[in-house]
Amino acid sequence: MDLILIQSGLAIFAVLGTLHLFYTALDVRDPKRFAPRDPDLLGKMQQTSGRLGSGSGKSYWQGLLGFHFSHSLGLLFYAAIFVAISLAAPDLLQTPLFMVLLLTPGIIYGVLSHLFWFYIPFWGSVSANGLMTAGLLLGN
């Protein structure tokens, strides 16, 4: 097992999560990064709510920002947990359960980014998963 490769893959996810968090925070005051290209659509998103929540007062745009914040934090939490495990108890990563727990979220992010997002998170996920897989396989 090569911990540097595993940690490098996790660092890619941490960087992507940090950038996502930063861009989302900027969009709270000045929507540019995750906003639709059509300014009329952004205005409509800010004036309407989703069907769930019974008109709770939160706009569709606020809901989208909340999704982006939680998505970013989830990615950072995933990276932080496994970096901590790799430092405190690296032998755990060689167990089948922890191998699955390490690789599955990254694979899911890769699939989701391919199906729904764009190329940066896709290639980031592919690269990170490749590094982590190589790190797990080396020495086995």
Structure tokens at 74: 């989830």
Q: What is the pLDDT of residues 97-109, one digit of tens each?
A: 999 999 999 999 9
Residue type, 131: L
pLDDT at 72: 94
Residue spans of beta strands (DSSP E) within 1-140: none
Range 3-27 average pLDDT = 96
Question: Rounded mean pLDDT of the chain?
Answer: 91
Structure tokens at 66: 């909340």
Distance CA(50)–CA(65), nearest Å, equals: 13
SS3 state at 44: helix
Please return the burial class of 3, using the count of CB atoms within 10 Å of its CB with bins 0-12, 13-18 and 19+: middle
Q: What is the pLDDT of residues 33-46, one digit of tens each?
A: 999 999 899 999 98
Q: What percent of the chain has pLDDT over 90?
A: 77
CB atoms within 10 A of CB 120: 12
Instruction: Record the pTM.
Output: 0.89
Structure tokens at 11: 């660092």
pLDDT at 42: 92
Q: What is the pLDDT of residues 84-93, one digit of tens each?
A: 999 999 999 9
Range 118-124 average pLDDT = 91
- Model confidence at 134, pLDDT cuts 50, 70, 90, reads very high
Q: Taking Cα atoms as reference points, which of 131, 134, 132, 19 lies closest to residue 75?
A: 19
Boundaries of every domain in the chain:
3-137
